[in-house]
Amino acid sequence: MKNIVLIGFMGVGKGSVAREVAKNSKYITMDTDDLIESMENKKIKEIFQDEGEEYFRNLEKRVSLWLQASVKDTLISTGGGFYKQKNLKKIGVVVLLDSPFDEIIKRIKNHPNAENKLKKRPLLSDLNKAKELYDERRTQYLKVSDIVIDVTKKSVSDCSKELLKKVEKYA
Ligand code: S3P
């Protein structure tokens, strides 16, 4: 099994889909933000506050090199900016979870834990800026991905099934 690298904008549901896939397949799952929080023993929000975004992006780079060298048979969910790593395709099959910006924000706001979801993501604190970031990134996301899953109005379970079906030919 090749690794799967799950990319997409903040709040699109990468973590939920990854957990569902792991429940229904042989994939082990891990998350680049979780790895970074363990490496630094700090929350992402604190890393941004104390050290700044560039420092965080360097940690993402270290993680990407480690993933390429050392990780197999794994579904890797990533932070929304991880797609910029140059070795993305060397890590595994790149799967984009795609949805329009407004739908993503609606999804976050409807979540029972919405406040926390917004608070822990420094780049979502200003929704106008987040929309600009989304517009900037969307074409790049499409460019680097092998597989695109439109998650709009689909259940996590349906997204997970679609993902497993679409990655079959890359196995
Ligand atoms: C970021 C997304 C976040 C996290 C960090 C930066 C981004 O992850 O890595 O706050 O640049 O889009 P999620 O996509 O899991 O929210």
Q: What is the mean pLDDT of residues 41-45?
A: 96
68/71 Cα distance (integer angstroms) = 6
Strand partners, 74: 28
114 C-alpha vs ligand 1 centroid, how far in Å?
Answer: 15
Output the pTM of the full model: 0.96
| Alpha helices, H only, the chain | 14-23, 32-40, 44-51, 53-70, 88-91, 101-109, 114-119, 127-144, 156-167
13/99 Cα distance (integer angstroms) = 10
Q: For ligand 1, is residue 122 a contact (CB within 6 Å)?
A: yes
User: What is the predicted pLDDT for the residue at 55?
Assistant: 98
Cα 88–Cα 151–Cα 56 angle in degrees, nearest 5: 40
The answer to whether 95 and 5 are in contact (CB under 8 A) is yes
The answer to whether 36 and 30 are in contact (CB under 8 A) is no
User: What is the predicted pLDDT for the residue at 138?
Assistant: 98
168 C-alpha vs ligand 1 centroid, how far in Å?
Answer: 28
Nearest atom in ligand 1 to 12's CA: 14
Report which protein residue has its CA nearest ligand 1's atom 8. Answer: 79
The answer to whether 77 and 18 are in contact (CB under 8 A) is yes
Over pLDDT 70: what percentage of the chain?
100
Is 160's pLDDT higher than 90? yes
Which backbone phi and psi does 28 adopt, to 5 degrees? -90, 150
pLDDT tens for each residue of 120-154:
999 999 999 999 999 999 999 999 999 999 999 99
**What value does the CA radius of gyration of the chain take, rounded to a whole number of Å?**
15
109 residue type, one letter = K
Is 16's pLDDT higher than 90? yes
57 C-alpha vs ligand 1 centroid, how far in Å?
Answer: 10
73 C-alpha vs ligand 1 centroid, how far in Å?
Answer: 23
User: What is the predicted pLDDT for the residue at 171?
Assistant: 74
